[in-house]
Amino acid sequence: MRATLFVTCLGDQFFADACADSIELLRSLGVEVDVATGQTCCGQPAYNAGHWPEARSMASHTLEVLADAEYVVVLSGSCTAMIRRGYEDLYGGGAAVVPGAADLAGRTFELAEFIVGVLGVEDVGSGLAGRTVAYHHGCHALRELGVREQPLTLLENAGAELVQWEAAEECCGFGGLFSAKLPEVAAAMADRKLDTLPDPDIVTSADPGCLLHLSGRAAERGGGPVFRHVASVLWEAANGGS
């Protein structure tokens, strides 16, 4: 099985370790992984800002770059949702009217969704034994893709103790451009998340934007737990805890 990694903009700029870890993780599960040259933004920021001509240009480029991928694995629930759901809205007549769009949507998955749903793997290793983990459900992965149990299953089977977090499924306030346009509201939403957070060893999520927002707010407040992308946490599990 071959998979092409779509690293995303934030993955490229802020989570290079998670990109590398996801490649190692997938290869350890028997997947041949490549990273398509020429990939850029999926178009979501422009789409959310109302700059649809620019978003269509980026979407068309993405369709071209990923045209030959057997599967596409994305390190962001929001970017996965853009390719799977947003392109249909972006092109008006539905994804089916754009050559390759519907086909790409059917081959594109968030990382944990791919491991559990496509590979049929629910146990990547036991390297998280003794670690307490809080999982933040990003809005796009949870509400648009229906990805909820897959990452939790992988973490629990890796030996992690998942802490009870009453705000685990609440929006963190990042919301792409929302946090830039309404920073006070976004900060208050992050504070709500952090105020209800127990004291885990790790806070993890499938969405780099959420992790940046929460970790940045935690640092502004004077500290907090370690924030890591779920790809890195799962590779630690597969790699015996190192």
Strands across the sheet containing 72-74: 32-34, 2-6, 72-74, 108-110
Helix, strand, coil percentages (3-state) for the chain, rounded to 5, are: 50, 10, 35
- Domain architecture of the chain: domains with CATH: 2-118 (no CATH), 132-238 (3.40.50)
Taken as a whole, the chain contains a residue count of 242
Number of C-beta neighbours around residue 103 at 10 A: 15
| Helix-then-strand count for the chain, H and E | 14, 8
pLDDT in tens, the chain (242 residues): 999 999 999 999 999 999 999 999 999 999 999 999 899 999 999 998 999 999 999 999 999 999 999 999 999 999 999 999 898 888 775 545 576 788 899 999 999 999 999 999 999 999 999 999 999 999 999 999 999 999 999 999 999 999 999 999 999 999 878 888 899 999 999 999 999 999 999 999 999 999 999 999 999 999 889 999 999 999 999 998 77
Q: Identify the helix (H) or strand (E) that includes residue 42.
A: none
Q: CA-to-CA distance for 137 and 195, rounded, in angstroms?
A: 16
Residue identified by tokens 């935690």 is: 218
95: DSSP letter: G
Residue 97: the pLDDT is 55
The two tokens of residue 216 are 């940045």
